[in-house]
Amino acid sequence: MTRELVYTGFMSLDGVVDSPGGEVEGHRSGGWVMRTEFVPEAYSLKGEELAETTALMFGRRSYEAFAPIWPGSEDHAAYKDLPKYVVSTTLKDDDLAGGWGPITILRSVEDVAALKREEGGPIFIHGSAELARRLAGADLIDRYNLLVFPVLLGAGKSIFGREDRDETKLRLRESATYSNGVAKLVYDVVR
């Protein structure tokens, strides 16, 4: 049995995942999640994920954005000691954060595929739009956990590529809508 690879993220209605919590990546509308009315139940998916996550995966840029913040964050305390994987061709072991559990650098999509073949529970990808597109293109993502926000951003990073490719079918596992306009959409990739 293979490990499940889950992409989780905040997304605008037009598919942008770029800079939801701030201007880290320079998006002119960075912080768009924070400008949506806070309704606690709209974030229940994040609590469910904490209980399910057995490892985390990031692309280099998302890792570099999260590594200075998450190790000391009370909201992410459950992640501190979990194994983390960073997919990067340029990151070196000396660049890795200390005190944030075991961190392994994977150099290729093939390394991710080999990790998926190992025994273990779900691996969650946070942020990392470019990585998510590459892994989806290689048919390695198994599930999408999305919180879709009622905002249109126009430009920005998306986890979905725009190139012509074979159709990927998704099966809705779970959905909910909340009073602030946020929609929870959990899709399994159909193989």
pLDDT digits over 164-177, tens only? 888 999 999 999 99
Cβ(143)–Cβ(186) below 8 Å: yes
**CA atoms 116, 118, 124, 128: torsion sign:** negative
Q: 24: pLDDT confidence band, cut at 50, 70 and 90?
A: low
Helices (H), the chain: 44-52, 60-66, 109-116, 129-137
Average pLDDT, the chain: 92
pLDDT value of position 1 = 63
What is the percent of the chain with per-residue pLDDT over 70, rounded to a whole number?
A: 97
Mean pLDDT of 87-96: 94
Q: How far apart are CA 112 and CA 117, in angstroms?
A: 9
pLDDT digits (tens, 9 = 90+) for 141-170: 999 999 999 999 988 889 998 888 889 999
pLDDT value of position 98 = 85
The set of residues, in sequence order, having a beta carbon less than 8 Å from that of 170 and lying 6+ positions away, is 144, 187, 188, 189, 190
- 91 vs 98 pLDDT, higher one: 91
Angle CA(82)–CA(140)–CA(118) in degrees, nearest 5? 50
pLDDT digits (tens, 9 = 90+) for 34-58: 999 999 999 999 989 988 999 999 9
pLDDT value of position 40 = 95
**CATH numbers and ranges of domains, the chain:** 1-53+131-191 (3.40.430.10), 55-119 (no CATH)
pLDDT value of position 25 = 65
Q: How far apart are CA 112 and CA 68, in angstroms?
A: 24
Q: Hunting for tokens 């949506």 — which residue is that?
A: 36
Q: Hunting for tokens 């999260």 — which residue is that?
A: 66
- 114 vs 73 pLDDT, higher one: 114
What is this structure's pTM? Answer: 0.93
Residue 118 confidence (pLDDT) above 70: yes
Which string of b and e fits 150-176 if b means at least 16 CB within 10 Å? ebebeebbbbeeeeeeeeeeeeeeeee
Mean pLDDT of 13-17: 93
